[in-house]
Structure 1
Amino acid sequence: MSATPDEAARALADGALILLPTETVYGLGADAGNAEAVAAIFAAKGRPRFNPLISHVADAEAAARIGAFDATAHALAQAFWPGPLTLVTPIRDASHVCDLARAGLDSVAIRVPAHPTARAVLAAFGGPVVAPSANRSGRPSPTTFADAVEETGFAVAAAVDGGDCQVGLESTVVSVLDGQTALLRPGAVTRDQIESVVGPLAGGGQGHRSPGRLALHYAPDAPVRIEATAARAGEILLGFGPGVGDPRWSLSPSGDPAQAAANLFRLLREADRQRPAGIAVSPVPQTGLGEAINDRLRRAAGFVG
């Protein structure tokens, strides 16, 4: 049974974990200031502790209380919050986001989600909630309530059903540090959209300040082969575009990147349940949202480069 936002907030206040729906993926949530609760997230996920967590807050005012926002950070927040953008800024008040949640860094990753149920939980709780994707570490992120429960439901005191996630990919992560703005992880807020607000992004960046950067990540048990033109024996082909593969396994029959993003993790998980010899994925254009889709596919295949 799904918990109400008030029930979820009480569980957080008690130091317990929750399943939290967002527009990106389902999160495994805890009070960001409670080191013991945050440690329980790492244990439940099997997540390495050098990987920082994103703190979710109810609004931009709450975000500015824990992170130091310059003019660039304020501009990005105004343009894309609430929504699927995470900002990495210098930490302002470490009492609200414990050292473990920040992986010992002097920065903090903050997001204001757009999902109304997530916002209701955050408002009821009244503080930042760290909520990495509710999968066991390295596996595809859950974008449905059932998949979230299957992955880490054993660890939570409250599970909130917010329906299927509309975006389907983890948030874009942008660092605003030392006068430079860099894209650390692509997502639904695209590079072009960010640059339309702040101008050209700096090269490189500080990837250790962002989650989701492991070389093998978002991976099903079956091996993933990308840029495939056809399925090999025993493989399931996830097609993209008109007439490519079985429509039941298509990321988007029309070639719509937003539809492909929303379907990606769900289809990877459903294909994996068939125990295929492998999962092949058709080429997806790199432009726009395709940058984020291809980032996840390269990591699912264990190839980043």
Structure 2
Amino acid sequence: MKAIATAGRPEAAPEHAFQIIERETPQPGEWDLLVRIKAVSVNPVDTKIRQGAILPNDQQHVLGWDVAGQVETVGDKVTGFAKGDQVYYSGEVERPGCNAQYQLVDARLAAKAPQKLKPEEAAAMPLTALTAWEALFDKLKLSQGDDTHRDETLLIINGAGGVGSIATQLARQLTGIKVIATASREASIEWCRTMGAHEVVNHHDLIDTMQSAGYPEVDYIFNCADIGDHWDNMNALIRPLGHIVAIAETKKTVDLNQLQGKAVTFSWEFMFARSLHGYHIEHQGQALEKMAAHFDAGHLSSTLSEVIGPLTPENLGHAHRKLEEGHVTGKLVLTAMP
């Protein structure tokens, strides 16, 4: 089979960072699905790993952790899946990724794809949707239901990004909480409103714009940006005994002691933590199954914003470049290898 691998040169520009390689089509282990890739999405974590995070940066790696595809073979212990099933999943960062013709994935991390979504639309969702689901419902412990959290507020920092986009939908559609998203450009502001945000505020002057909008403090904050850029803002805006969850690390120094006076809870969300440590990995397949039902019921919509083209080294590099430039709304998707 063909796959697209990194060149093993983390300093290379995205346009020169990938090459086609030939590998034997893998055979599934007892818990695995062998999936023929129909569409993939690209995430910021892909760019970080290409540049040397998590995996050895002097080796070739097949990246990619957002998939829509078709089951070709199932392992001996797999239940609930059969050849021909359409599936979607994110997978495991320590196994070869989806930038290939075929991929193995542990069936417990996958779910049948939403029937109402095209492969390109489904591929946009798994990594960001799982991140948002775990942040909102596992970490912040929001309760689902139209009448829940009616008197509470959730601030989503970087509301137009991939995670912020689906987090806005999940919070708006599955709870009764008031959702406030941050954005600054006209296109991203409109995108946040389309995703369902009750309010959109400018993150460049966050405290003042929040106060002007009538929100001097909030109950929950979901930070999808560099925590160092917003640490003081979050400390000022979170209410006493509030809860902050974040997904993006920082190179800046932050003072966790600032949160002590209000007895604020701070949580990390890292979607790959379950598979990296083998901790109840079936939780992710179950979450994707629940969200597939919501997509099919019309409660959620895909955050696909652009189909770059077929999966080639050139198109993959172009997608990485766009992500690194930092102005992407929603998700970038590539179709199957030519």
TM range (shorter): under 0.3
Q: Which structure dedicates a bigger proportion of its chain to strand? A: 2
**TM-score, L = length of structure 1:** 0.26
**TM-score, L = length of structure 2:** 0.24
Considering only CA atoms, is the larger Rg found in Structure 1 or Structure 2?
A: 2
